[in-house]
Amino acid sequence: MLTEILLFIVGIVVSTFGTLIGFGGGVFMVPILIILFQFPIELAIGTAMTALLPAALVSSFFNFREKSIDYVVASLLQFPAMVGTVIGAFLVAYTPVLQMQILFSVFVLAVGVYMLGTYKQEQKRQRGMMYRLNRMPTSFIRKNHPKHLAYRLNGGLMALFGLCTGTMAGLFGIGGGFLQTPIMIRAFRIPSQIAISTSLFILVITSLSGISSHYWLGHINWDKSLPLMLAFAIGALLGKAVRSRNNATQQSSERLIGIGLVLAGMSVMVHIFLKYDF
């Protein structure tokens, strides 16, 4: 009974933080389930995937009411990502996955440290390669009238990014969702509120497909998953309440995302060591 209570509390904490930064929390939960609660790795992944769905649904419900989800961005990212997942799965047979996973986790840590070190710096609008790429053909202006926001997107570049994150998800088996929010903010200059809301909406689709796959593979134990699903739903409500109360700025959002990336990089590294029995 004590284990179930502790798991419930940990689930609420992870979901609250995941909702604040738009990652969902799955990348943190898998190593926690394996290390602290002695879950087999397949069961840990399946359980974490089921827990993400109610949290993503709760968050997306409130974000839908606030009109902060960009469905065009979600479509440009998600559909190519689905193709990329298949490509990544095939690349596993021809790629030294372990070495690439280690490099990838180091890369995520480096990006997190970079965001923590530069979140206070004022971003110049007309500077850098991404600024010029976003103004190439297939670019267009997106306007969010309820939030009084406008930003420029390059549809082709966004679709390519979705393909890359999907390929990483299929290749590494760790998901590429936790890279979507920071890259949307830093590379594509999408306002943090829109980026976080859109990323959580995409999580609804990815978690549904993930749950289906893990269910057929027998990686879901509903006795263990249902309490965690409830915990993640409560955490999503708390995360939304905290974000609304604090009225998070772009800088504070980037700082939290930087912390999340550092933790995600460490989680991925732990996941690798557990998966390959180092």
Q: Using one digit for the tens of pLDDT, what is the confidence trace for 157-167? A: 889 988 888 88
User: Which pLDDT tens digit goes with each residue over 40-91?
Assistant: 877 888 888 899 899 999 999 999 999 999 999 999 998 888 888 778 767 7
Burial of 141 (0-12, 13-18, 19+ CB in 10 A): exposed
User: Which pLDDT tens digit goes with each residue over 222-239?
Assistant: 888 899 999 999 999 999
On whether the CB atoms of residues 195 and 144 are closer than 8 A, the answer is no
Helical spans, DSSP H, in 124-221: 129-133, 155-172, 177-186, 192-217
Query: Pick from 152, 127, 17: which is nearest to 73 by CA?
Result: 152
On whether the CB atoms of residues 210 and 50 are closer than 8 A, the answer is no
Instruction: Give the integer Cα–Cα distance in Å for 8 and 176.
Output: 25
Pick the most confident of 93-107, 126-140, 219-233.
219-233
Q: Tell me the pLDDT band of 125, cut-offs 50, 70 and 90.
A: very low
Six token digits for residue 225: 């998953």
Query: Pick from 74, 2, 70, 81: which is nearest to 37 by CA?
Result: 2
CA 73 to chain centre: 15
Instruction: Give the integer Cα–Cα distance in Å for 126 and 90.
Output: 40
DSSP 8-state assignment for residue 138: T
On whether the CB atoms of residues 73 and 144 are closer than 8 A, the answer is no
Taking 90 as the threshold, does the pLDDT of residue 103 lie above it? no
Instruction: Give the integer Cα–Cα distance in Å for 268 and 175.
Output: 10
Among 102-116, 179-193, 212-226, 246-260, the minimum mean pLDDT is found in 246-260
User: Which pLDDT tens digit goes with each residue over 25-35?
Assistant: 877 888 888 88
Instruction: Give the integer Cα–Cα distance in Å for 228 and 8.
Output: 6
User: Which pLDDT tens digit goes with each residue over 11-20?
Assistant: 999 999 988 8
Taking 60 as the threshold, does the pLDDT of residue 124 lie above it? no
On whether the CB atoms of residues 134 and 157 are closer than 8 A, the answer is yes
